[in-house]
Amino acid sequence: MPRSLVVKVTCGSEDAERCNQAFTVAAAAVASGAQVSLWLTGEASWFGVPGRAEEFSLDLATPLADLLSVVVAGGRVTVCTQCAARRGIVEGDLREGLTIAGAAVFTEEILDEGVQALVY
């Protein structure tokens, strides 16, 4: 059984390659059978809102919306509490299957036995 993976993405369209890499790694890990938790923080918080991932574009990359769908279907996606609040995003604004949680939950996830955490 692969280790659990927590991926935290801190950027959005302003750093498209780094952002896309985080989603790609999370989706690939789900496809490999790993237990995956993807955290959307900073500008990436916007991708928790319907339609935002569909607006993201990066040449030669799998569409962000497709990658996000893979993670939602096979893992867990969380938007940072403070990041959401700063942007006026509330739970009712999110795509189906996403939640909002804070640093305590993130810390609990990354400190669990056998977890690999990556921050992009």
DSSP class of residue 47 equals G
pLDDT, mean of residues 47-73: 98
Interhelix angle 64-74/16-31, rounded to 10 degrees, is 40
State yes or no: pLDDT of 3 exceeds 90: no
State pLDDT tens for residues 98-118: 999 999 999 999 999 999 999
pLDDT-derived band at 76 (thresholds 50, 70, 90) equals very high
Q: What is the pTM of this model?
A: 0.96
Domains of the chain, earliest start first: 4-119 (3.40.1260.10)
Phi, psi torsion values for 118, nearest 5 degrees? -125, 135
